[in-house]
A and B are shown apart, each in its own frame.
Chain A
Amino acid sequence: AQSVAQPEDQVNVAEGNPLTVKCTYSVSGNPYLFWYVQYPNRGLQFLLKYITGDNLVKGSYGFEAEFNKSQTSFHLKKPSALVSDSALYFCAVRGYSGTYKYIFGTGTRLKVLA
């Protein structure tokens, strides 16, 4: 079965410090991996994706993510956190299990402290 796990419900980080939001996945075949961000009363916004190629993917707002095939992980990172990065972050994978579906994780709330 295909799945995505975000092991942390919440991550707290001080402004200016690096941040990491963790994601692991399980999928048959090659994974298509995505990160989204959700601000209050808004829909999910696409940040970045991994399809193939370089394991380090750069996205919007200074975010990047590292694909690790051996650890089946796709952690979201940012070198220096901003208070405005505080939001709910979702990891998603698209794979095949009868039909193509996007499977979303349960979300990680990031809180950046001033």
Chain B
Amino acid sequence: DAGVIQSPRHEVTEMGQEVTLRCKPISGHNSLFWYRQTMMRGLELLIYFNNNVPIDDSGMPEDRFSAKMPNASFSTLKIQPSEPRDSAVYFCASSPSGQGQPQHFGDGTRLSIL
């Protein structure tokens, strides 16, 4: 099993630029989660999808952040315009259906906004 695949692994860009993070969940998993991890705030849930539909986006920091899941095998998290405080490691995770199912995490995208 390939696991959750995230790209790019590292992204360095200048303030004001658009950033797009990509995620391919594990095949057959129908829930997908986006998290942000920083030293100050720990691991924060940004948004999660079930069967490609956004269920809870209450963790999205502000309108500059948007997420889509156009099909079961692909999701994006976009930041436009980016700001230095968006610098963090962004993780995507997926899980099968069922409340007791664990999440499987990708190795993250380390984002640095200069």
Contacts and interface: CB of A to CB of B under 8 A. Distances in A.
Interface residues of B, number: 19
Interface residues of A, number: 21
Contacts of A49: 100, 102
A43 B48 contact: no
Contacts, number: 46
A71 interface: no
Contacts of A41: 107
A90 B100 contact: no
Interface in B44-73: 45, 48, 55-56
Contacts of A90: 43
Closest 5 CB pairs of A and B: A43-B105, A51-B100, A46-B102, A99-B56, A44-B105
Given A34-B102, A42-B108, A101-B45, 14 more contacts: A32-B100, A36-B105, A41-B107, A43-B107, A44-B93, A44-B105, A45-B105, A46-B104, A49-B100, A51-B100, A90-B43, A99-B56, A101-B48, A101-B56
